[in-house]
Amino acid sequence: MKDEILTYLKEQVGDDKDLLDSLYEEYCSTAKEYVGALKAALPQGDFAELKRLAHALKGNSAMVGDTEMNAHALAFENGAKAAALATCQAEFSELEKLLLEL
């Protein structure tokens, strides 16, 4: 997954290795924060907060070309919009797996 993200970023910003590494590390840090916040909010069942967090993660992942994280964040967001706890839980499991692959 890292190579795909770096390839996408390279197409967007050029071949500056330091910049690419910095952008990738920032994305990883931000994704970790959002997934952690989702984990904390999920037991509360605050679907408005879950939707907000998933939306932000979706946007961040799209900006760096992480299509898998983006797709699961979108599905999570849609689950939160529908107040579908089971969907949110299932998508959260996928988001956690993807985070480990970063």
Concatenated DSSP letters of 62-99:
HHHT-HHHHHHHHHHHHHHHTT-HHHHHHHHHHHHHHH
The pLDDT assigned to 43 comes to 96
What pLDDT score was predicted for residue 9? 95
Return the CATH number of 16-101, one of 3.30.70.3270, 3.40.50.20, 3.40.190.10, 1.20.120.160. Answer: 1.20.120.160
Please check whether residue 43 is in contact with residue 20, taking contact to mean a CB–CB distance below 8 angstroms.
no
19: helix, strand or coil: helix
What per-residue confidence (pLDDT) applies to 1? 83
Using CA atoms, how far apart are residues 31 and 98, in angstroms rounded to an integer? 10
**Cα 36 to Cα 82: distance, rounded to the nearest angstrom:** 22
pLDDT tens digits along 18-62 = 999 999 999 999 999 999 999 999 999 999 999 999 999 999 999
- Label residue 2 exposed, middle or buried (CB < 10 Å: 0-12, 13-18, 19+): exposed
- H/E element holding 46? none
Domain ranges of the chain: 16-101
Tokens, residue 8: 């996408």
Q: What is the pLDDT of residue 93?
A: 98
